[in-house]
């Protein structure tokens, strides 16, 4: 499977526009193609989503095949989708969240209120969601995992793919270091909108072999070592290093005919989702063996 261009987006759950100067923990979008690479920083999710839409439109207009990797969970452990929506498929959750989540142009959002609402809808709680800022109080949303019996809810703490990709956290954990739950609650409504665009297929939920645009879940921490070294060497945010290296690795693997090995997903995937390259960190790292120079602006259209 080959792509003309690979884009990777590191998402953010910030509740305000992120700093214009200190660009850690913000939205970073990285792009790589035959001409090189580029990265862009965004202070709000609205800006980031707008650029992703423009990049998709540009690729389609140019007749180019595009792989778009998004760094948040595309689903939840088996049983959650059916408990919330009556359908045992992750896209039903995206649709539900797209109607429930309010996410303004200034990043202000209602993710904790929606998590508490979901907890109230799933019998046998508290849970499954937990964790919020220490100075806040959300009835029905426990601040810690203690006291949450996920087994009683018929749920596991993590998806199969997360269990195989440590140190990935539970998508039910919304706050504290390493948490991906808030990014997922805020990212899945965008995923629903992207999935409605003509020519867009979301893996592993749709057939992707012939799709002009393929969207897949990624986990840049699979390249933790190379990312840390690049961030230190160039004094750039780790998020920027992540999108640069992962977009480069995926593009190179595609050009070398080695990308097919990453498209492996087991039975739970249609309900839970799957991380592209899960269990294949060594293969991803091998694509970075040759030095390459990324540029701040260039062939990838902004």
The answer to whether 91 and 205 have CB atoms below 8 angstroms apart is yes
Would you give the end-to-end CA distance of the chain in angstroms? Answer: 25
Q: Which two tokens stand for residue 157?
A: 């703490």
Q: Can you give the pLDDT of all 302 residues of the chain as single tens digits?
A: 789 999 999 999 999 999 988 887 899 999 999 999 999 999 999 999 999 999 999 999 999 999 999 999 999 999 999 999 999 999 999 999 999 999 999 999 999 999 999 999 998 889 999 999 988 889 999 999 988 999 999 999 999 999 998 888 999 999 988 889 999 999 999 999 999 999 999 999 999 999 999 999 999 999 999 999 999 999 999 999 999 999 999 999 999 999 988 988 887 788 999 999 999 999 999 999 865 444 343 457 65
Per-residue pLDDT tens digits for 259-286: 988 988 887 788 999 999 999 999 999 9
Phi, then psi, of 133 in degrees rounded to 5: -55, 145
pLDDT digits (tens, 9 = 90+) for 126-154: 999 999 998 888 999 999 998 899 999 99
Return the CATH number of the domain spanning residue range 5-73+188-286: 3.30.420
Q: Rounded to two decimals, what is the model's pTM?
A: 0.94
Q: Where do you find CATH 3.30.420 in the chain? A: 5-73+188-286
């Amino acid at each position: 499977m080959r792509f003309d261009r690979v884009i990777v987006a590191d998402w953010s759950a910030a509740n305000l526009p992120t700093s214009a100067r200190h660009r850690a923990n913000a939205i970073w979008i990285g792009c790589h193609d035959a001409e090189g690479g580029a990265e862009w920083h965004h202070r709000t999710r609205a800006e980031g989503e707008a650029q992703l839409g423009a990049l998709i439109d540009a690729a389609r207009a140019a007749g180019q095949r595009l792989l778009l990797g998004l760094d948040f969970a595309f689903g939840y452990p088996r049983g959650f989708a059916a408990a919330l929506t009556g359908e045992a498929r992750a896209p039903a959750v995206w649709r539900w969240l797209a109607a429930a989540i309010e996410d303004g142009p200034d990043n202000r959002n209602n993710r904790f209120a929606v998590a508490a609402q979901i907890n109230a809808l799933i019998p046998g709680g508290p849970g499954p969601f937990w964790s919020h800022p220490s100075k806040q109080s959300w009835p029905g949303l426990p601040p810690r995992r203690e006291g949450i019996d996920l087994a009683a809810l018929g749920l596991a703490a993590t998806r199969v793919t997360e269990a195989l990709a440590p140190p990935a956290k539970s998508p039910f954990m919304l706050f504290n270091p390493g948490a991906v739950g808030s990014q997922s609650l805020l990212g899945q409504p965008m995923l629903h909108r992207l999935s409605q665009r003509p020519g867009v297929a979301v893996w592993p939920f749709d057939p992707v072999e012939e799709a002009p645009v393929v969207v897949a879940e990624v986990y840049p921490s699979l390249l933790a070592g190379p990312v840390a070294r690049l961030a230190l060497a160039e004094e750039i945010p780790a998020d920027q290093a992540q999108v640069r290296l992962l977009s480069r690795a995926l593009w190179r693997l595609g050009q070398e005919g080695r990308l097919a090995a990453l498209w492996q997903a087991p039975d739970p995937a249609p309900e839970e989702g799957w991380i592209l390259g899960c269990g294949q960190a060594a293969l991803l790292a091998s694509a970075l063996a040759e030095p390459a120079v990324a540029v701040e602006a260039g062939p990838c259209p902004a």
